[in-house]
Structure 1
Amino acid sequence: MEVVVVMCLVAAVLDGRAMGDLPPPHASYKILMLLPASSMSHKNVLAPLAEGLAERGHEVVMLSCQRNILHHPNITEIRYDPVRHDKPTTVASKFNYRNNLAGAFAQLKEILPAVARELYKAPSVMQLYHRRKEFDLIILDHMFNEMAYPFVHEVPFITVATPGMDARQSAVLGNVLSPSYVPNLWKGYPLPLSLRHRLENTAWHLFISFYWRWWAVVPRIQEEVRGHCTALYRPV
């Protein structure tokens, strides 16, 4: 019941920011927000949520690799500084690289396992990991943050999908989306989907899931996390 109350509270804060003031909360909660592999644009989306929760008296801790931008007394930002990995150096090369889906996948295949490796080496991160059950709720940035899954094991959590709902990630969390009417995140289609588009969309759903979860990315992240298993699962 308490988990439901906290989740309803988060939804109410999101709605209240747009609709007006909310009545005072009945209780104060400790909330952990995880953005270990997020860009500044993702943090800019989640920052107002953190501020809204803090304004209502809740204690918020935010872990990210981006610079600290929040100044509310109820918000604690914990920043770790991962090494940058083989990113294009010019603005033009960045856009060209990201517009190429194969190039973007190749980049993430290298970056995300490296982030996972560095994440659990940071003493501040490990201290936070061993305190995770002190929090009433964990909010996880939905995209590219599989390396944070050990944090949400056996604790209440929700995800926030900043770029849109990724069908692969949604299926992992138990919400399978049908490719017959839900376009994948990587390629848009006119609605309603034609038969050709449904077949193509289904192929994309299957390919992305296989490539990401079973072949190129998640297995490498799991290998990095496995190297920290002793520290991760040490009793506290």
Structure 2
Amino acid sequence: MEFKKTTGIFVLVLFFTEFPASSAHRILVLSPITSYSHNNYFKTVVNALVDREHLITYWTGLPSKNQDIKNQTDNLRQFHSPLLHEINSDHHVDFNERDRPLDLLFQFPRRMETYCKAIYNDPVFHQLMNSAGPYDLMIIEGAANECVLPLVHKL
């Protein structure tokens, strides 16, 4: 009985050492509406995925400065949208309104309409909608990016 137990463990260890735990995956990172602080997070994630040799398509609303993002490589396609950069550079949020949270809440639908119009008029959106896909994983900026959900559905 003891022999069978250790043999089974040996085979299990051999199985996991012979085959890689992961392989390169196609990953779509969508961050068209973002802020500089959120963009700093996404740059780190994208760079780490590129280092692990995943195939990354990254759509950002803010341009990379200097070497924030690795240079375009065989496994990184980065898209930047100048109109979205203009929106992302100034979200027109008055942080003094924290004392009036309902004002922020009631402004949100108008703000989302502006964001969605900018996204749907952006050539990158249409390029991605017409791309072959599919992706193994999609990472989406969590704040005000509901407008990219048609991409998720299609791809």
TM-score by length of 2: 0.68
Instruction: Give 1:50's match in structure 2, choosing from 40, 46, 50.
Output: 46
Q: Percent identity?
A: 23
Q: Who is 2:55 aligned against?
A: 59
SS in 1 for 2:133: helix
Q: RMSD in angstroms over aligned alpha carbons?
A: 2.6
Where do 5+ consecutive residues of structure 2 fail to align? 1-19
Structure ID, larger Rg: 2
Q: Which has the higher contact order (CA 8 A, sep 6+)?
A: 2
User: Structure 1 residue 79 and structure 2 residue 80: aligned?
Assistant: yes
The CA deviation at 1:70 is 1.0
Distance 1:99 1:112 in 2: 22
Shift of 1:98: 4.5
Q: Tell whether the 8 Å contact from 1:25 to 1:56 is kept in structure 2 after alignment.
A: no
Q: Which residue in 2 is equivalent to 1:137?
A: 137
Q: Distance in 1 between matches of 2:154 and 2:91?
A: 35
How many residue pairs get aligned? The number is 128
Partners of 2:114 and 2:132 in 1: CA distance: 23
Structure-1 separation of matches of 2:30 and 2:91: 24
Q: Matched residues in 1 for 2:146 and 2:117: separation?
A: 12
Work out whether residues 32 and 62 of structure 1, in 8 Å CA contact, stay in contact via their aligned partners in 2: yes
In structure 1, the partner of 2:34 is 38
Q: Which amino acid aligns with 2:29?
A: M
Per-residue CA deviation, residues 68-117 of structure 1 (Å, 9 max, x unaligned), is: 241243433211123548826xxxxx320345312322332222111111
Stretches of structure 1 that go unaligned for 5 or more consecutive residues are: 1-23, 89-93, 156-236
| 1:28 paired to 2:24 | yes
**Distance in 1, Cα, partners of 2:30 & 2:132:** 11
Please give the residue correspondences for 1:93-172 in structure 2 after superposition, counting only pairs within 5 Å. 94-131=94-131, 133-153=133-153, 155=155
Cα deviation 1:157-205 (Å, max 9, x = unaligned): xxxxxxxxxxxxxxxxxxxxxxxxxxxxxxxxxxxxxxxxxxxxxxxxx
Q: Secondary structure at the match of 2:121?
A: coil
Per the TM alignment, residue 34 of structure 1 is displaced from its structure 2 partner at its CA by 0.7
Do the aligned partners of residues 59 and 111 (structure 1) sit closer, same or farther apart at CA in structure 2, a change above 3 Å counting?
same
User: Partners of 2:107 and 2:35 in 1: how far apart?
Assistant: 14
Counterparts in 2 of 1:132 and 1:110: CA distance versus 1, 3 Å = farther
Q: TM-score, normalised by structure 1?
A: 0.47
C-alpha change, 1:113 and 1:27, in structure 2 (3 Å) is same
The letter for the 2-side match of 1:77 is Q
Contact preservation (8 Å) 2:31, 2:140: yes
SS of aligned partner of 1:133: coil
* Partner secondary structure for residue 52 of structure 1: helix
SS in 2 for 1:57: coil
